[in-house]
């Protein structure tokens, strides 16, 4: 009703009026876009002269950079494996309390990370994993976000395809790898980009669970601007955003298609 009314009104507008209206809309969108991009543009401009100081004088930067990439890659990869298996189990498994389990996943997903920091701290201290790489990786690999998103996607898949596959084979793994995974490939890529970005930006865990600077991440380096010098933080921030940007650009098309389909 509303849509029809609006389209009627739009059709009543003259060509000049419509053009003027579109111009206003595009100007507003451009201004908003520039406002969003402004911090990034300023960051890139201000980083100009300090790359030499960062790259040839701050040697802590390199292990921290590689640690960030390593933690993000390992944690996201393991998370995506668990997410696929959990989503598959929740979608096609026949068990009691499936909905309750999914609700628990949602609650866990909504919970701020700071809430779980103390239990994780106690657990890591008990298992003697403080100040180790494993201490960062293990508590992070069981994040529910990927499972929830993939579950939503799998739920929307055509069941007849799975049933047809069940006639061909009894192996659940064959069904998962040969029937389901090829269909949700783009969805997995999109979820992986999100998980990578989230894990790449982790700050609380390295700050609380690690003492050795050589194990810490680039986000810690950037958070200690006053210790390392504020000038070198601009080029550090530019380099910091490149791995996620590259990953986003790599999966950009599948990410775009998927996000529009699922409202990711």
Partner 1 sequence: MQKKRYQSVVVFGMLIFYFIMIILTVSARAIHYRQIPNVVITRLKRVEINGKSGYAIPFEAYENGSVFIVRFGMKGGEKRSFVLKTDVMAGETDGNDILIESVLQRWDRIICQSDRKLSSGDEVYISK
Q: 161 vs 1, 167, 175, 242, CA distance in Å?
A: 38, 10, 10, 40
Q: 67 vs 137, 164, 201, CA distance in Å?
A: 11, 45, 11
Which 8-state DSSP code applies to residue 76? Answer: H
Q: Which residues, 6 or more positions from 264, have their beta carbon under 8 angstroms from its beta carbon? A: 149, 190, 191, 194, 258
Report the residue number, 144 or 206, with the smaller CB distance to partner 1: 206
Burial class of residue 235 (count of CB atoms within 10 Å of its CB; 0-12, 13-18, 19+): buried
Report in angstroms how near the CB of residue 52 gets to partner 1 at its nearest: 9
Report the residue number, 171 or 259, with the smaller CB distance to partner 1: 259
Nearest-angstrom CA–CA distance, 110 and 105: 9
Other CB atoms within a 10 A radius of the CB of residue 16 amount to: 8
Are 146 and 81 spatial neighbours (Cβ–Cβ below 8 Å)? Answer: no
Report in angstroms how near the CB of residue 261 gets to partner 1 at its nearest: 17
Report in angstroms how near the CB of residue 247 gets to partner 1 at its nearest: 8
Please enumerate, as own/partner, the contacts of 6-15 that have beta carbons within 8 Å and a separation of 24 or more. Answer: none
Report in angstroms how near the CB of residue 41 gets to partner 1 at its nearest: 20
Report the residue number, 73 or 141, with the smaller CB distance to partner 1: 73
Residues that bind partner 1 (CB under 8 A): 55-60, 62, 65-66, 213, 227-228, 242-243, 246, 249-250, 253
Report the residue number, 2 or 59, with the smaller CB distance to partner 1: 59
Report the residue number, 55 or 109, with the smaller CB distance to partner 1: 55
Report in angstroms how near the CB of residue 200 gets to partner 1 at its nearest: 14
Report in angstroms how near the CB of residue 165 gets to partner 1 at its nearest: 28
Report the residue number, 24 or 250, with the smaller CB distance to partner 1: 250
């Amino acid at each position: 009703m509303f849509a029809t009314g609006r389209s009627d009104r739009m059709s009543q507008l003259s060509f000049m009026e419509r053009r003027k209206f579109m111009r206003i809309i595009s100007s507003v969108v451009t201004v908003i876009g520039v406002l969003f991009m402004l911090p990034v543009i300023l960051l890139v401009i201000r980083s100009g002269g300090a790359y030499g100081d960062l790259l040839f004088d701050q040697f802590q930067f390199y292990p921290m950079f590689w640690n960030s990439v390593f933690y993000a890659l390992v944690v996201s990869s393991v998370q995506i494996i668990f997410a696929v298996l959990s989503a598959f189990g929740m979608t096609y498994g026949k068990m009691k309390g499936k909905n309750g389990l999914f609700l628990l996943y949602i609650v866990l997903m909504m919970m701020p990370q700071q809430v779980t920091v103390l239990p994780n701290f106690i657990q890591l201290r008990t298992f003697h994993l403080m100040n180790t790489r494993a201490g960062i990786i293990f508590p992070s690999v069981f994040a529910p976000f990927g499972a929830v998103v993939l579950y939503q996607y799998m739920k929307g898949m055509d069941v007849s395809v799975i049933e047809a596959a069940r006639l061909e084979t009894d192996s659940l793994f064959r069904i998962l790898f040969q029937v389901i995974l090829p269909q949700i490939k783009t969805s997995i890529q999109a979820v992986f980009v999100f998980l990578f970005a989230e894990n790449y930006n982790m700050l609380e865990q390295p700050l609380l669970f690690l003492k050795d600077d050589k194990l810490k991440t680039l986000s810690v380096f950037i958070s200690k601007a006053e210790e390392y010098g504020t000038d070198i933080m601009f080029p550090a921030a530019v380099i910091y955003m490149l791995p996620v940007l590259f990953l986003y650009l790599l999966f950009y098309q599948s990410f775009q298609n998927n996000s529009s389909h699922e409202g990711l």
